[in-house]
Amino acid sequence: MTMEFTDRLTRVEPSATLAISALATELEQDGADVVDLSVGEPDFPTPQNIVDAGQDAMDAGHTGYTTSAGILELREAIADKLAADGLDHGPEEIIVTPGAKQALYEIVQALIQDGDEVALLDPAWVSYEAMVKMAGGDLTRVDLSDSDFQLEPALDDLAAAVSDETELLIVNSPSNPTGAVYTDAALEGVRDLAVEHDITVISDEIYKEITYGVEPTSLGTFDGMADRTITVNGFSKAYSMTGWRLGYFAGPQDLIDQAGKLHSHSVSSAVNFVQHAGVEALENTDDAVAQMVDAFGQRRELVIDLLDDHDVDVAVPDGAFYMMLPVADDDQAWCEGALEDAHVATVPGSAFGTPGYARISYAASEERLEEGIERLAEEDYL
């Protein structure tokens, strides 16, 4: 039988990163020692207090469905966290999701339909494009690669790209894949354009807690943004909880009500005991988070120094645990070659809409980072 698939899925390409991870797996099966700098997750275990809270919650019988939007205790803890960031959302304006990815999916589904225009700042995290395309939207892309991935110098380009036709703009600061943290002046520029053209903005703040010497401002705190910003965050990165699948979004009540329908008819709710672990993460884990951020900061310095030894300049990231390495124009071929010859896995910039770069994740031990960069240099990839 030949199955007929929907347009919304045939519009979406398989991820360009898949080719790299398939090749890495093949090499590892053949016995190669691959230095994997392609991963988008912290290499630390989930802090023990969070694990204990999850286990205790299971033991206490928190294993049934919860209210669809999430347990009140967690939504209250999230509301407190958002308030500390200057955002005013009560628990009723928050939906807890199985990961920030599901939050983004629900928001895009709630706001975007055939022909709606969505603006992205490139390079942009891979799933934004796929989510918009699945919803039937059209993409307008603004390239930040000429301004060291900073938005402030590229505000004129953003102004030229958006119009009254633009429905949604997605801002991700600190950014995956660049690590860039946008300045307040850049975010004010976003605000001015959003207000002028009546654009809704998603502020994906999943790396907000992972920064080096800068304090990112939440976009929703700027005058005029409270009723047009949807703030997305999650537990995967700051608390090293990728596999637990826990995230959330907060926004205006009408958006929450509409997206809540999709949420309740698809995932029902996030996992009950995981939500209890999330309360512990938000309330009692600051020291462990600070230690992880400290370690990422040291690795960031190490990678920059090692690249500098090989005369490679990168745009210094102020957040997340990624940086963009300038490579050959054909970045896909560069990444495949680096993997085959040096056994170092990276992600091609074209996967994020910006060819000519490879994304390095420094969520790896200092020894592995040293080993990876040494091998790239030895095989003439630097």
Ligand X SMILES: Cc1ncc(COP(=O)(O)O)c(C=O)c1O
Q: Select 121 or 158, whichever has its Cβ closest to ligand X.
A: 121
| Closest residue to ligand X: CB criterion | 99
Q: Select 212 or 244, whichever has its Cβ closest to ligand X.
A: 244
Q: Select 78 or 376, whichever has its Cβ closest to ligand X.
A: 78
Q: Select 69 or 382, whichever has its Cβ closest to ligand X.
A: 69
Least Å distance between CB 227 and ligand X?
23
Least Å distance between CB 127 and ligand X?
7
Q: Position of tokens 């920064």?
A: 211
Query: CA quadruple 111, 114, 120, 124: dihedral positive or negative?
Result: positive
Q: Select 40 or 349, whichever has its Cβ closest to ligand X.
A: 40
C-alpha R_g of the chain: 21
Eight-class DSSP state of 319? B
Q: Position of tokens 């700098």?
A: 37
Nearest to 346 by CA among 324, 365, 367: 324
Least Å distance between CB 108 and ligand X?
12
3-state secondary structure of 247: strand
Least Å distance between CB 95 and ligand X?
13
Least Å distance between CB 34 and ligand X?
20
Query: Please, are residues 152 and 185 in contact by the beta-carbon 8 Å criterion?
Result: yes
**Contacts (Cβ under 8 Å, ≥6 apart) of 55:** 273
Rounded Cα distance between 171 and 89, Å, is 19
Least Å distance between CB 125 and ligand X?
4
Residues at the contact surface with ligand X, assessed by CB under 6 A: 40, 99-101, 125, 172, 176, 204, 206, 234, 236, 242, 247
Rounded Cα distance between 173 and 160, Å, is 21
Q: Select 162 or 206, whichever has its Cβ closest to ligand X.
A: 206
Query: Please, are residues 267 and 102 in contact by the beta-carbon 8 Å criterion?
Result: yes
DSSP run (H or E) holding 337: helix 331-342
Nearest to 97 by CA among 70, 118, 77: 70
Q: Select 135 or 376, whichever has its Cβ closest to ligand X.
A: 135
Least Å distance between CB 144 and ligand X?
15
Q: Select 66 or 236, whichever has its Cβ closest to ligand X.
A: 236
Least Å distance between CB 128 and ligand X?
8
User: What order do you get walking across the sheet with 166-172 strand by strand?
Assistant: 94-97, 247-250, 229-234, 200-204, 166-172, 117-122, 138-143
